[in-house]
Structure formats: C-alpha cells, structure tokens
Amino acid sequence: MGVAAIPLVALVGPTAVGKTALAVTAGESLGAEIVSADSRQVYRRMEIGTAKPTPEERARVPHHLLDVVEPDEPFGLSDFLRLAQAAITDITARGRLPFLVGGTGQYVQALLKGWQVPAVPPDPALRAALEATGRADPDALWAQLLALDPGAAEFIDRRNLRRVIRALEVCLKTGEPFSTQRRAGPPPYRALILGLTLPRAALYARADARVEAMLAAGLADEVQALLAAGYGWELPSMSSLGYAQFKPYFREQASLDDVAARIKTDTHDFIRRQYAWFRPGDPTIHWLDAAAVTGADVVALVQAWQAEAKRET
C-alpha cells in the first residue's frame, strides 16, 4: 500500500466538545487506534489539566502520542509529525484503522496537508533572548520576524509569542525564511475529516463545567506536584492552559476561585482561536452536532466512506 493510499479518519474540533469520548466509542467498534493530535497530552505527569483519556478509555482503544516527553523536554511540530506518521504506518500495517483525534489545529493541518517542516533543534540561549524581547516589546519581535520573513504573517498569529519565537529561531538559525521552509507536499493520506461543533454558548458552558470537574479532581495538587518536582513556570509545558493560571495562586496572590475564573476565560479565548483552524464553513470537514451525534453515527459514516473507497479501486 502506498503512503497516499493510507486511510485515516480525523476527528477534530475545539476543546471540551467531546472528541475523546466519541472517538473511543466509535473506534472500539471499528477496530481503530487513536493517534493524539494534542500538543499538551504529550507531557508525562500532566493528566488532569490536559484532559488525557482515562485509563479505562485507553484500555478500550489503544492510544498513541500520549506521555511522550517529560515536562521539561522540548517537543514541537516536527516531533509530532515524525511520531504520528510512524504510528499511522504501524497501525495500518497491523490491519487497524488510524484515528487522528485532537484540537491542536497546527498539528492536524500539518499532518493532513503534508507540511514539510524544518527540523531545526531548539537553541535555548537564542530562545531566552527572543523571549526577553517579546516580553518587553512584542511589537518589536513581530517586526523583526516580518523583516526576515514577510510571508509569516499569512499563517502565524502575532499574539502567539511561542510561534513567533519559533519562526524567528528557524529564520536566524538557517538564514532562510521560515515560510519557505514550511512547504506542503502532496496530501499523504486518504482522509475522512469529521468535525465536532456546538453553538458557542453551549460550548463555553461545557468547557466551564469541565474546568470545575478538573479542579474537583485535584488539578491544584497536580500543579503543586509539578512545581515540587522542579518544573518551573518558564517551561512551555507549564505555560499550558490550566497550569499557567495557577501561578498567582501559588504565589499567594489569588484564590482558587480566581484561578477557576481565569481558566474559564482563557479557555473561551482558546476556543475562539481553535476555530481559526477548524472553520465551520470548511468544505473538507464533515461537521457534526456534538449534542446529537452518537458513536453509531460515526461508525456509519466511516463504513460508508470505506465502502466508497472499495468501489473506486
């Protein structure tokens, strides 16, 4: 089987919309294995705040790309692509169906569209200098990137300091614009892309309820354990949604109620940004109402897609 013929089902959508539960239910019936497309679930020790699948869910359907690195180890898009591509090839070779599930839009798009990403290793000293500039004057950092790579404005959100820094790092280390190195190859998979969505108010309410459930499950203790193990706030992992908001709490500058409110607000902002990657009008995505769709519905869609592929061969 050639790479272009590899079938792949992708289940995408914003955080808290119900992707994991639906993927597990449908995947169990389809003989699927799940490849996580979540940039934070790769970190070990970070269970509650990243909403990792439960042990029971992992027992029902095998999962890949969870617990890949420690919280202080680097992990980026090139790492995700390498590991995800290997996992999909392995799953397919064993006669199983790969399910790509997650809300990190950059990861999903890069995999499905065949992005060729420069494998430039992180330079801690350069990153620290760029971060200092970005904290002092984010506009200056953005201007520096545009001077080196005007094309970066087409796909990088200037508010996303981490992505701006990474693009600058690649430009400065290679001497070439990041946008010309991040080129797309031929689509590597025959993909069925299913998107879960809800009206915004309903989605925010579901996200808020999940924040409360995380706090009740011991999220504050999880963050405290990470700090006690020596993982500092400067790490990308600790800047994650659901973790960074605890910084004033552990400095005795905010209450748990303050933390909860901040996580909810930042989650709403995050959801809005996710929809920039997963647009409801995107014709390549088969959109499903998260409040009504069932595992049986997904199974039927996948089976129809598989049957169509057989007729075409």
Sequence spans of domains, the chain: 3-116+188-312, 124-181
All residue ranges of the chain with pLDDT < 70 are: 1-4, 184
Backbone torsions φ then ψ of 69, nearest 5 degrees: -135, 160
pLDDT of residue 284: 92
Determine the pLDDT at residue 6. Answer: 94
The verdict on domain 124-181 having CATH code 1.10.20 is: yes
- Which residues are bridge partners to 192 per DSSP? 9
Q: Rounded distance, CA 260 to CA 262, Å? A: 5
pLDDT of residue 133: 92
What's the rounded Cα separation, in Å, for the pair 85 and 68?
15
Domains 3-116+188-312 and 124-181 share a fold: no
Alpha-carbon distance values, 299 to 3, 160, 208, 251, 303 (Å): 24, 36, 29, 48, 6
Task: Give the model's pLDDT for residue 2.
Answer: 40
pTM of the model: 0.86
Task: Check residue 291 and give its pLDDT.
Answer: 97
pLDDT of the residue at 3: 41
Alpha helices in 158-294 (DSSP H): 161-174, 178-181, 200-216, 219-228, 247-250, 256-277
- CATH number of the structural domain 3-116+188-312: 3.40.50.300
